[in-house]
């Protein structure tokens, strides 16, 4: 795997107004990484994702995508970069007034000049990739939560993105569906070389798919640890991260030692 | 078994002996006396003995919880004796929450600071509103000239909603309003023997303003509310975020089709409402005043003046814009939970009605000045 840098955050401070969530973050995400953003509830993971995908401006600092400053880019450049992102929202965020096929076709209609039949083929390919062949004409309200997420992933993949962002992909899924989604993420990463950024607290996913990570801490408003999650478990740099990665057993385990 | 909350003080120690079943215990008076005693400065140690405790539920646990809180707050010793294990664990669990919700820093401030903050708030929301109006205005022109991304199906849905689906209710209400105007007018005019003027009264009233106002209020409640709810729900479901990150301007995509639909249909609905109101008047004219319908209708048509008619239609147009903007504004700026969709809907309807009345005032003054 090459080690080209895909995304780089420099002195990034995020928050809302006067309310700072995380201060002075620095991290890099290489091309082809599966990068995990972890941390306790409410520490600002989703907010960081919103900053990285350009929905919210950071309070301070910059994000570079492929060497281009994304934060201070002009609207046109920003749009270009955003087209190379696929995002799977926590709830799937499918447009409820459209069928699955229409949902997935939308980015294609927006940014490509493909013919209707070409788009139709692409849509069925993307749906097949996520295992939803035959659901073209279903509305989002007619499918289950797990299927919505997969359909959302199909839409995120519509334009063959360079980076796919996931906000809590396994939230609300049963263990089996969640495992299937993890497998799908790995598959996409391996086959297409897509860089993947995932916000999650699901430990099994973290260890199953992640090869790089940052751990955000709300109390100190900083990045508390970084690196491959499996290495972090082997050599935990501090108690908080050890506790997190062992579902809070860490402290007790140490006490009984 | 009868429950008893028996407490006594000796020296610096408050001893509480509980016995019996504490289920749905609600002796507020005794509880507050107990707490007051525990808070007393002379007491340094609170000890609870649950030897004879029978069954218990949260109403009992809450007493222990409160006592322990008092003890912690005033740094008193808190001792429990013979506690059932599950109760002990429950209480420990209640005190093991170690993190407080992170409070955004807020300055309490004095009176003037508060007024200042209020003023800044007000200004920023006015600014936000004006900004939104500016953006939707430019988006409106972009979409009319076909330079924005919008699905034709969304437009046709929006049109459907403000045309034949709205007609029955608009017809009914307008007919009733015409009828009421005629009825009230007739009673008065009869005393002068001038009941024949009922036709002009109803016609002028409906075409100049009532048609537009009634249509506006109905559409604010029907369509404005549904805009706020639909767009608000999309906000909650992160659909609006998805649009933005796809590079689609949510105002082009969500607001413009709805605005176009209302701007086109409101004047038409207003005309229809005028017509239905006149019919309503005719009903009273024929049944109560015994004017033949033919005659009544002729009188009505005679009473229509182009000025009044156009002013009414103009009102309709303005109301259409107001309803669309209020509905979409509160939808787009809806919070992220189900609750906020409800409040967005309410605000959309209320503000649409308020702004319609304000606009009516402004238009009336302008007409007065222009001599229309
Ligand atoms: N639009 C907003 N305006 C102000 N504060 C916000 C806003 N959105 C989120 N917050 C606050 O920012 C904090 C972090 O929220 P965020 O959604 O990023 O947390 P999170 O780490 O994703 O948590 P979770 O794991 O529970 O999803 C929360 O305390 C929240 O109250
Ligand atoms: Mg989150």
- Identify the closest residue of chain B to A50 by CA–CA distance: B241
Task: Tell me if A100 sits within 8 A of A153, measured CB to CB.
Answer: no
Domain identity same for A119 and A19: no
A114 within some domain: yes
Side-chain half-sphere exposure of A82, counting CA atoms within 13 A: 28
Pocket test for ligand 1, best of A45, A51, A216 (most atoms within 8 A of CB): A45
Kindly list the residues from chain B whose CB atom is less than 8 angstroms away from the CB atom of residue A107.
246
Q: Is the pLDDT of residue B358 over 60?
A: yes
Ligand 1 atom nearest to A50, measured from its CA: 18
Domain identity same for A74 and A1: yes
- A-proximal residues of B, 231-250, CB under 8 Å: 233-234, 237-239, 241-242, 244-248
**What is chain B's alpha carbon radius of gyration, rounded to the nearest angstrom?**
33
B4-96 to CATH, choices 3.40.50.2000, 3.30.750.24, 3.10.20.30, 3.30.390.30: 3.30.750.24
Record: contact A89-B242, CB cut-off 8 A: yes
Cβ atoms < 10 Å from Cβ of B8: 10
pLDDT for B210? 92
User: Average per-residue pLDDT in chain B?
Assistant: 88
Domain identity same for A15 and A77: yes
Rounded Cα distance, A192 and B95, in Å: 50
Give the pLDDT confidence of B241-286 residue by residue, as tens digits: 999 888 888 899 999 999 999 999 999 999 999 999 999 999 999 9
Question: Which candidate, A220, A218, A198, places its Cα nearest to that of A209?
Answer: A198
Domain identity same for A47 and A61: yes
Whether A47 is in the pocket of ligand 1, judged by its Cβ within 6 Å, is yes
Cβ atoms < 10 Å from Cβ of B320: 28
pLDDT for A255? 42
pLDDT for B131? 92
User: How many Cβ pairs closer than 8 A exist between chain A and B?
Assistant: 53
- A107 at B interface, C-beta within 8 A: yes
Rounded Cα distance, B143 and A191, in Å: 40
**Which structure tokens are listed for A200?**
């999650």
Give the pLDDT confidence of A202-223 residue by residue, as tens digits: 888 888 888 899 988 888 888 8
Q: Is the pLDDT of residue B113 over 90?
A: no
DSSP B46-81: EEEEEEEEEEE-HHHHHHHHHHHHHHHHTT-EEEEE
Domain identity same for A247 and A202: yes
Full domain range(s) for residue A156: 93-160
**CA end-to-end span of chain B:** 85
**How many angstroms does the Cα of residue A45 sit away from the middle of ligand 2?**
6
- B149 at A interface, C-beta within 8 A: yes
Mean pLDDT over B227-243 rounds to 92
**Confidence class of residue A188 from pLDDT cuts 50, 70 and 90?**
confident
Sign of CA dihedral A142, A145, A147, A148: positive
Q: Is the pLDDT of residue B197 over 50?
A: yes
Domain identity same for A149 and A42: no
- B135 at A interface, C-beta within 8 A: no
Rounded Cα distance, A155 and A160, in Å: 10
Domain boundaries, chain B: 4-96, 135-370
Model ipTM?
Answer: 0.80
Whether A55 is in the pocket of ligand 1, judged by its Cβ within 6 Å, is no
Q: Into how many domains does chain A fold?
A: 2
**How many angstroms does the Cα of residue A240 sit away from the middle of ligand 1?**
20
A45 within some domain: yes
Domain identity same for A35 and A52: yes
pLDDT for B332? 92
Domain identity same for A30 and A78: yes
Domain identity same for A129 and A77: no
Give, as residue ranges, everything with CB less than 5 Å from ion ligand 2. A 46
Sign of CA dihedral B248, B249, B254, B257: negative
Record: contact A89-B102, CB cut-off 8 A: no
pLDDT for A2? 52
pLDDT for B108? 65
Domain identity same for A63 and A27: yes
Domain identity same for A150 and A212: no
Residues 6+ apart with CB under 8 A from A178: A169, A170, A202, A204, A205
Domain identity same for A64 and A169: yes
- A83 at B interface, C-beta within 8 A: yes
């Amino acid at each position: 795997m090459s080690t080209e840098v895909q995304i780089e955050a420099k002195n990034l401070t995020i928050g809302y107004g006067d309310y700072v969530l995380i201060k002075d973050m620095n991290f890099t995400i290489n091309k082809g990484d599966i990068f995990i953003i972890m941390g306790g509830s409410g520490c600002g993971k989703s907010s960081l994702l919103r900053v990285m995908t350009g929905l919210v401006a950071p309070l301070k600092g910059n994000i570079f995508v492929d060497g281009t400053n994304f934060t201070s880019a002009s609207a046109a450049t920003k749009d270009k970069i955003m087209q190379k992102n696929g995002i799977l929202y926590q709830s799937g965020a499918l447009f409820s007034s459209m069928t699955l096929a229409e949902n997935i076709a939308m980015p294609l209609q927006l940014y490509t000049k493909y013919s209707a039949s070409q788009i139709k083929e692409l849509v069925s390919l993307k749906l097949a990739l996520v295992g939803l062949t035959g659901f073209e004409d279903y509305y989002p309200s007619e499918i289950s939560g797990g299927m919505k997420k997969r359909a959302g992933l199909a839409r995120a993949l519509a334009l063959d993105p360079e980076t796919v962002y996931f906000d809590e992909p396994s939230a609300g899924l049963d263990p089996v569906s969640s495992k299937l989604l993890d497998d799908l993420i790995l598959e996409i990463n391996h086959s297409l070389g897509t860089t993947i950024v995932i916000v999650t607290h699901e430990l099994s996913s973290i260890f199953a798919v992640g090869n790089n990570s940052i751990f955000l801490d709300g109390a100190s408003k900083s990045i508390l640890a970084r690196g491959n999650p499996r290495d972090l478990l082997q050599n935990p740099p501090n108690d908080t991260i050890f506790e997190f990665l062992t579902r809070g057993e860490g402290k007790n385990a140490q006490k009984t030692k | 078994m009868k429950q008893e909350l028996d407490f006594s003080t000796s020296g610096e120690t408050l001893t509480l002996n509980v016995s019996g079943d504490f289920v749905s215990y609600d002796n507020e008076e005794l509880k507050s006396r107990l707490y007051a005693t525990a808070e007393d400065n002379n007491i340094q140690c609170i000890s609870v003995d649950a030897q004879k405790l029978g069954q218990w539920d949260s109403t009992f646990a809450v007493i222990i919880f409160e006592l322990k809180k008092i003890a912690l707050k005033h740094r008193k010793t808190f001792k429990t004796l013979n506690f059932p294990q599950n109760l002990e664990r429950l209480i420990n669990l209640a005190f093991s929450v170690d993190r407080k919700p992170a409070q955004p820093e807020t300055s309490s401030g004095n009176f003037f600071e508060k007024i200042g903050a209020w003023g800044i708030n007000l200004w920023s929301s006015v600014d936000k509103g004006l900004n939104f109006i500016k953006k939707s205005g430019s988006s409106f022109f972009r979409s009319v000239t076909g330079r924005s991304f919008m699905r034709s199906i969304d437009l046709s849905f929006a049109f459907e909603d403000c045309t034949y689906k709205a007609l029955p209710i608009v017809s009914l209400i307008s007919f009733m309003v015409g009828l009421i105007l005629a009825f009230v007018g007739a009673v008065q005019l009869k005393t002068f023997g001038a009941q024949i003027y009922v036709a002009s009264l109803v016609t002028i009233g409906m075409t100049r303003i009532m048609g537009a106002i009634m249509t506006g209020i109905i559409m604010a409640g029907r369509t404005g509310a549904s805009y706020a709810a639909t767009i608000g729900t999309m906000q909650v479901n992160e659909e609006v975020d998805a649009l933005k990150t796809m590079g689609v301007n949510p105002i082009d995509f969500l607001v413009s089709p709805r605005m176009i639909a209302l701007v086109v249909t409101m004047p038409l609905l207003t005309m229809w409402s005028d017509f239905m109101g006149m019919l309503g008047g005719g009903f009273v004219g024929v049944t109560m005043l015994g004017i033949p319908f033919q005659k009544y209708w002729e009188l009505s048509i005679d009473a229509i003046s182009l000025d009044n008619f156009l002013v009414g239609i103009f009102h309709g147009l303005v109301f259409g814009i107001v309803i669309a903007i209020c509905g979409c504004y509160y939808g787009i700026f809806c919070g992220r939970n189900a609750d906020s969709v409800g409040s967005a809907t309410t605000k959309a309807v209320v503000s649409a009605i308020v702004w319609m009345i304000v606009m009516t005032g402004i238009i009336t003054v302008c007409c007065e000045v222009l001599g229309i």
